[in-house]
Structure 1
Amino acid sequence: MSRKLVSIQEAAQFIGVAAQTLRRWEREGRLVPDERTPGGRRRYDLSRLRPEQFRTADVARRTVAYARVSSHDQKDDLERQKQVLELYCARHGWTFEVIADLGTGMNYPKKGLKRLLDVIIDGQIGRLVITHKDRLLRFGAELVFALCEAKGVEVVILNQGEDTTFEEDLAKDVLKIITVFSARLYGSRSRKNQKLLDGVRQAVEVAQSC
């Protein structure tokens, strides 16, 4: 009987975890790749992978799903994210809670993100679920993923592709950065500052309409 060997990304998606989790499991001797290519890439036999085998390992530690949008006018999108996360976790039979934030991905001091980091550091959770990588942070998500790996937390990213709200969120983040730096340079109420911000807003609007 022929085997179907798949990459680490495909194997991780099939099981419902992140690729970095499979690397950790290999170090722990929990799931070793069936083969390696001449270039050293891992290959897994899909026929012997059973997702249910890996869903009881962190039973004592709950799953946390994290959702975020950048602004108040995206509240509907926040609710959609939460519903997708809740459905996914419930379908897999996980005990979970959803932590939600409303704030830019450039801003670290958010109440929900702080709580999420606290429970990861305290070892209270065994799994983190997000819809897209950028829902966590615009820059610095890899640091959170590294923390998860160190604490034995599986990271499940439902959509590895581009976030549907990426351009809109990025535009808001760029405006926030320009606002902060122009206020420092010219003063928050200066005419130079307002002129600069107006120009940036117009450029963003033109880019979004293309």
Structure 2
Amino acid sequence: MREAASLLGVSMTTLRRWDASGKLAADHTAGGHRRYDLAKLTPDLFRAEADTQRRTLAYARVSSHDQKAELERQKQVLERSCARQGWTFEVISDLGTGINDHKKGRKKILDGIIDGRVGRLVLTHKDRLVRFGAELVFAMCEAKNVEVVILNQGEDTTCEEDLAEDVLEIITVFSARLYGSRSRKNQRLLDGVRKAVKESQSC
């Protein structure tokens, strides 16, 4: 009771009067002692303390093994930006296309957001986390009071290359379903697509 009175800035006599009038009812123990839930009395204070314990996660991703140098560049940009702000952070990275739903790094981030363990998400570009459906993820962040920081609001320089990898992955999945993953027809189709992708990137 003394702690509740100090937190609210009133006397214990005032708390007893509020309890008697029903203005601020207390829980009563078997021995007749008043008990107050401080988190309910000052939710904003306790929410602020909880927010300071939530983590800052920075996420980097590239679509293929050929882009490992770009992945390292993204991680360095994230590290410098977070350190400059004085945030305690962790950089998580994935290697694979933005339409692949089985990335361990992205799953770790989404699980942390849902569980309330993430307070801030830092990305180099909007589409690094997911290629499609980013707005849905950001809406979830807003609902969970997660701050989203996008360092570069402009066009991602790796966008065309990533899209080419995404298209190749889609064709790979559907051609394998049509012809079988080891069929010659499937392999000829994939080889032709890869060739077209490389030619388009060299233009």
What CA distance in whole angstroms lies between the structure 1 residues aligned with 2:90 and 2:191? 41
What CA distance in whole angstroms lies between the structure 1 residues aligned with 2:168 and 2:75? 26
Return the match for 1:130 from 123, 141, 155: 123
1:65 aligns with 2:65: no
- Consecutive unaligned residues in structure 1, runs of 5 or more: 1-55
Return the match for 1:90 from 79, 83, 88: 83
SS in 1 for 2:90: strand
TM-score normalised by L of structure 1: 0.70
- What are the superposed Cα offsets for residues 69-89 of structure 1, whole Å, 9 maximum, x if unpaired? 112222221111111001001
Task: Give the letter aligned to residue 62 of structure 2.
Answer: V
Return the match for 2:161 from 165, 168, 180: 168
Task: Give the letter aligned to residue 114 of structure 1.
Answer: K
What CA distance in whole angstroms lies between the structure 2 residues aligned with 1:180 and 1:192? 14
| Structure 1 moving runs of 4+ over 2 Å | 56-60
SS in 1 for 2:99: coil
Q: Is the 8 A contact 1:62 1:94 kept in 2?
A: no
SS in 2 for 1:59: helix
What does 1:1-210 correspond to in 2, within 5 Å? 58-210=51-203
- The structure carrying a bigger helix percent of its residues is 2
Task: Give the letter aligned to residue 146 of structure 1.
Answer: A
Per the TM alignment, residue 195 of structure 1 is displaced from its structure 2 partner at its CA by 2.0
